Each structure stands twice: as C-alpha cells, then as structure tokens.
C-alpha cells in the first residue's frame, strides 16, 4: 500500500518537475529579448567611441531587468532541483521498503552499496549569493 502511494507521489512530483522545466524555458525565452537589446546597445556605443549619458542610463536599466530575469530563472531552477532531490529520496525509500518486504526481482537484486554513478549524482548544494 505504501508503495502505491509512493508511486503516485513520484508521478505528481514528475509532473510538477515538468511544469518547472516549462517555466524555465518560458523565462529564458522572455529574458532573451533583453539580452539582445543589451548586445545591440553595446554595438551602437562602440560606433560612437564614447559613452553618452543616454546609453549609460539605458544600459543600467537593461542590466537591472536582465539581473531580475536571471534571478527569477535561478529561483525556478532551485525549485526544480528540490523536486529532483525529493524524487530521489522517495525512490530510495521505495527501494528500501521493497528490500525489507522482499519484493525485489531475481533479475534485479537489492543493491548493497552505492555505485560510482550514484556517488556522482549526490545532491549539489547551491546557495544564494552571500550564503555559506
């Protein structure tokens, strides 16, 4: 019974992860326009050979919006990483419960140790700027 609820929870988390990935792509495409504007402004500035106050204020505004877009995308990616960690922990709990109950296949015996590939995918801590 616990295995069925874990399976449904994993399915829910996977759909949430899929939505977060879509949101990331939407945010990235939304911020791409701003990055193109920054690049065009830099090209126009280089043709003039000096920085005018107009371009300075325009670039400052473009940079602040680009920074806000990047922070929004970063927050979505952090949420996605949290979902991935939650999915991995549920899969591990399900594997341990199946091992205890003796519900594993003969073709797939229970793992006793962590293999090299699993060690490479251990959770990565990504803190916000200023976190230690």
Give the model confidence (pLDDT) of 20-32 as tens digits: 999 999 999 999 9
Say if CB 6 and CB 94 are below 8 A apart.
yes
Give the model confidence (pLDDT) of 78-120 as tens digits: 999 899 889 988 888 888 877 787 766 555 655 566 666 766 6
pLDDT at 1 (0 to 100): 47
- Full-model pTM: 0.73
3-state per-residue secondary structure call for the chain: CHHHHHHHHHHHHHHHHHHHHHHHHHHHHHHHHHHHHHHHHHHHHHHHCCCCHHHHHHHHHHHHHHHHHHHHHHHHHHHHHHHHHHHHHHHHHHHHHHHHHCCCCCCCCCCCCCCHHHHHCCCCCCCCCCCC
Say if CB 46 and CB 109 are below 8 A apart.
no
Give the model confidence (pLDDT) of 117-128 as tens digits: 766 666 666 777
């Amino acid at each position: 019974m616990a295995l069925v609820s874990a399976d449904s929870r994993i399915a829910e988390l996977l759909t949430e992860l899929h939505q977060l990935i879509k949101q990331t792509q939407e945010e990235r495409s939304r911020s791409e326009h701003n990055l193109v504007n920054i690049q065009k402004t830099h090209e126009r500035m280089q043709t003039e050979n000096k920085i005018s106050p107009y371009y300075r204020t325009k670039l400052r505004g473009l940079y602040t919006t680009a920074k806000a877009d990047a922070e929004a995308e970063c927050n979505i990616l952090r949420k996605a990483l949290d979902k991935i960690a939650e999915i991995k922990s549920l899969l591990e709990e399900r594997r341990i419960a199946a091992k205890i109950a003796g519900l594993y296949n003969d073709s797939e015996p229970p793992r006793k140790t962590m293999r090299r590939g699993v060690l490479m995918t251990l959770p990565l801590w990504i803190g916000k700027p200023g976190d230690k």
